[in-house]
Amino acid sequence: MEQITSNQNTKVKLYQKLKKKRERDKQGLMILEGYHLIEEAFQNNLTIEYLFVLDVARVDQALIEASQATYEINMKVAETLAGTVTPQGIFAIVQKPTFEISTAKQVLILDRVQDPGNVGTLIRTADAAGLDMVIVSRGTADVFSDKVLRASQGSVFHIPVVVEEDVVHFVQNFNGPVYGTAIENAVSYHKIDKKQTSFALILGNEGEGMTKALLDATTQNVTIPIYGRAESLNVAIAAGILMFHLKG
């Protein structure tokens, strides 16, 4: 197995470049650190371009065989690659998956949700609720960033997550009710049918809510009644309550 001992190695430099969203978008690649995430990517048949391992004996042989190329690295290189203080000793450069969005029947749409922890938890919750797909607008936190990947706990690899340029167009052509989460002409979610076979649910930006064009394209706005004195619910909790209501 080829060894990499220098931070000047071109693969190491590529990994470093991919820490920037712009590079990930341009190259269609993402970077992963840690056994759990890389194992998830492998089990979900993503293409692993490069695998970097500190201790080869710890790594599943099937994972090494599935990778296009595997390199043994030293601690110096591991520390350079690591996004965390204590590197787990395994890193990968992986192709972003692509999906056909026209077949999705139960969809969560994120409209410029900013907080990576929220985005990750929303994807995890959509996965738990058994939805078909998560569609994120431009302006939503990068799905393939470190924080989103961690908060999603692997769900990014379980459920198709698609960055869509024209969410309004998708919504306008969606075959089923589209629920917005805004107070304008909203009804309580209790009035919305449970166990729907086809639906889209849109969650907006934490501060500003949904964009006007999307609001205009919804079938119905829904709200969750606040019985106490909190001003609002956390966006991921609101989404969890609504998705489990719609799945029923």
Distance CA 181, CA 113 (A): 13
Question: How much of the chain is in helix, strand and coil states, percent to nearest 5?
Answer: 40, 25, 40
Considering only 48-56, 135-143, 202-210, 236-244, which stretch makes contact with its own copies by CB under 8 A? Answer: 236-244
- 178 has which bridge partners? 200
Which of 47, 153, 219, 223 lies at the binding interface for its own copies (CB under 8 A)? 153
Distance CA 107, CA 132 (A): 6
The DSSP secondary structure of 72-91, one letter per residue, reads EE-HHHHHHH-SSSS--SEE
Rounded-to-integer distance, Cα 191 and Cα 116, Å = 31
Tell me the number of residues near its own copies by CB under 8 A.
Answer: 33
Strands ordered across the beta sheet of 199-203: 161-164, 133-137, 106-110, 199-203, 178-180, 220-223, 187-188
Provide the 3-class DSSP secondary structure of residue 102. Answer: helix
Residue with tokens 């009710």: 177
- Residue 224 engages its own copies in binding (rule: CB under 8 A): yes
Q: State the binding string over 108-147 for its own copies (x if CB under 8 A, else -).
A: -------------x--xxxxxxxx----------------
Q: What distance in Å separates the CA atoms of residue 175 and residue 154, rounded to the nearest whole number? A: 29
Question: x/- site string to its own copies, residues 163 to 202, per CB under 8 A?
Answer: ---------------------------x------------
User: Does 228 contact its own copies by CB under 8 A?
Assistant: yes
Give the residue, chosen from 66, 163, 213, 233, that forms a contact with its own copies under the rule CB under 8 A. Answer: 233
Residue closer to its own copies by CB (options 195, 212) is 195
Instruction: Using CB under 8 A, pick the residue from 49, 158, 221, 223 that binds its own copies.
Output: 158
Least CB distance from residue 70 to its own copies, whole Å?
A: 27
Q: Measured from the CB atom, is 11 or 124 closer to its own copies? A: 124
- Cβ nearer to its own copies, comparing 162 with 238: 238
Q: Name residue 161's beta-bridge partners.
A: 134
Minimum Å distance from CB 229 to its own copies?
Answer: 4
Residues that bind its own copies (CB under 8 A): 121, 124-131, 153-155, 158-159, 190, 224, 226-234, 236-238, 240-241, 244, 247-248
